[in-house]
A and B are shown apart, each in its own frame.
Chain A
Amino acid sequence: MVNVLSPGETDMLESRDLHGMFGKARIRPGVSQAAAQGAVNRVAADLRQQRVGIWRAEGSGFRLIPTKDTILFPDADRFLRVCPPYC
């Protein structure tokens, strides 16, 4: 459906250059945010090893933010908050 509604030269479902997918996840009961972030960091570390050249080595990864703390977008939210908790 993505490629049907937004046709182009690049396959949006397969490309690792087109950053347009906003992720959302529901955590399992009993799992803390810290534990979830740990699991997320492990996935990111694996991807950095598997996809050298695509994932820039250091500093790249995933960022997990509670949905209720997101106003618009993390980089824009810092300007909307008096006290930015994620800067």
Chain B
Amino acid sequence: MLGRPKRDIALIRQVKEWAYDCLPIAADATVRVMELECREPSCPPLETVIAAMEEGKPTRQWKFHKPMPEITQSDIAERATKEPDAGS
């Protein structure tokens, strides 16, 4: 059907936990995990974005070119030493 699929909250929480564990994110930061759809030919159809929001700091985003259910802990751990994709 139309519209956003009912999200598996447990999955979101798992990815969040991995994000807190593996990425340089403070324990009291707010983390959001979102799946975005893309229709451009060069993009994969679904992307996962992990965003970390901390008071007083710009929000940082890490983007993964795969849908949320395919994200693994090592995907996230790999990014720990690299710069985030966006520090808006």
A, B in one complex: no
Interface residues of B (CB under 8 A from A): none
